[in-house]
Structure 1
Amino acid sequence: MTRWLLWTLAGLLVGLLVHLTTIIAMPRLSGQTGFQRAAAIAPLGRFVALPADRTPLPLPDPAIVTGFCRYDLSEGPAHIHVPLNAGFLSVSFYTAEGLNFYTLTDRAAANGALDMTLFTLAQLAEIRAKQGPDLPGALRLQAPVPTGLILVRALIPEPTQQAEVERALVPATCR
């Protein structure tokens, strides 16, 4: 009886060790990160819409149109302009490693669009020294690293409005 119990306990410990090792090692062993896959789809500084029926994302929500833009702040700040549509809209900022560092929704919009500028710490300090503190109409964000992704998600209120929501994301800019 004790021999059976020892073998069972040993099997559970080996299974737990293999499971934990796999979970910890998989991100380091994977061939491409999301940032690298995005680089194959779109150039730097340009929004690309990924409709739910034609997206490389796994298990996409059919009621969401996703758009993304890769940015690199080494040449200067990135100015982001996202026009609003009739439904819910969110803008999320990610590092190249996938860390989400800022998110805002359509409720933060002024004049029918979300306008913001993304800076590195040094760039933000320089602009604040020249122009003073932040102004209500100029949203300034600090990125923890110079490269990353900006992800826009727009809700499709009705299935017949999918093309309209996709067209609404076309004028979005990221320069």
Structure 2
Amino acid sequence: MTRTLLWLIGGLILGGIIHITAILTLPLLAEETTWSRVSALDANNRMLVLNRVAQGDPNPLHLDPELSYGLCQIDLSEGPAYLNGVLPDAFWSVAVYDQNGVVIYSTTNRDGIGQTVDMGIFNAAQTRLLAQQQIDIAEGLLIVEAPTNQLFVLVRLSAPHEAMRTRFEQELSEITCGPRA
């Protein structure tokens, strides 16, 4: 009886270890990830206004059809990246994501920023240079330190009326994103 109980407990522990290992490794084996979908959009160092998602259509990025989206993919190994421009006077948010789709920084116009977005995104080495005043930045620049070099920025806009959506998306397309020239 004791021997059977030990075998049962051992089997449950081994099964639990195998189960947890499988769950944790499956995402690493996925061929289609958020990063691969973003990379396929050709938004490298430029703000790309995403096509509107119609209800019922495929939505691989799981976007809200009521919002307008701008996407920019950046690589900090090329140098610091900057996001700059003026967004409409309505709700908007900016989020910086790593390759795994994890938000590393997020802000909205309700954080007291107003309509102007002026953000510098730096890796750890660039932040050290910034602290040593070896990188010149404009006063008032919002500084974001990223743990990795491969990132993407997603800007969301909420037009109060459908008639304003086209104008909002035009303003979104004028946001600059990427290294400074």
Instruction: Give TM-score, length-normalised by structure 2.
Output: 0.75
Q: Which residue of 2 aligns with 1:173?
A: 176
Q: What one-letter code is carried by the residue in structure 1 that aligns with 2:110? A: R
Q: Percent identity?
A: 31
Q: Which residue of 1 aligns with 2:48?
A: 48
C-alpha change, 1:30 and 1:141, in structure 2 (3 Å) is same
Q: CA deviation at 1:60?
A: 3.2
Q: CA deviation at 1:109?
A: 6.0
Q: Which residue of 2 aligns with 1:33?
A: 33
Answering whether residue 79 of structure 2 is matched by residue 89 of structure 1, we say no
Q: For 2:71 and 2:101, locate their aligned partners in 1 and report how far apart those are by CA, in whole Å.
A: 13
Q: Which residue of 1 aligns with 2:160?
A: 157
Contact 2:53 2:59 survives alignment (8 Å) = no
- The one-character-per-residue Cα deviations of 1:36-78 (angstroms, maximum 9, x if unpaired) are 1111111421111114337854553222011111110001100
C-alpha change, 1:38 and 1:59, in structure 2 (3 Å) is closer
Q: For 1:19 and 1:159, locate their aligned partners in 2 and report how far apart those are by CA, in whole Å.
A: 48
Instruction: Give TM-score, length-normalised by structure 1.
Output: 0.77
Q: Return structure 1 stretches of 4+ with deviation > 6 angstroms.
A: 17-22
Contact 2:98 2:104 survives alignment (8 Å) = yes
Contact 2:93 2:156 survives alignment (8 Å) = yes
C-alpha change, 1:45 and 1:145, in structure 2 (3 Å) is same
C-alpha change, 1:78 and 1:25, in structure 2 (3 Å) is same
Aligned pairs for 1:55-94 (under 5 A) are 56-57=59-60, 59-94=62-97
Q: For 1:141 and 1:79, locate their aligned partners in 2 and report how far apart those are by CA, in whole Å.
A: 10
Q: What one-letter code is carried by the residue in structure 1 that aligns with 2:93? A: S
Q: For 1:28 and 1:111, locate their aligned partners in 2 and report how far apart those are by CA, in whole Å.
A: 39
The Cα RMSD (Å) is 2.8
Q: What one-letter code is carried by the residue in structure 1 that aligns with 2:53? A: D
Tell me the SS of whatever aligns to 2:133: helix
Contact 2:34 2:61 survives alignment (8 Å) = no
What runs of 5+ residues in structure 1 fail to find an aligned partner?
A: 1-12
What runs of 5+ residues in structure 2 fail to find an aligned partner?
A: 1-11
Q: For 1:59 and 1:52, locate their aligned partners in 2 and report how far apart those are by CA, in whole Å.
A: 12
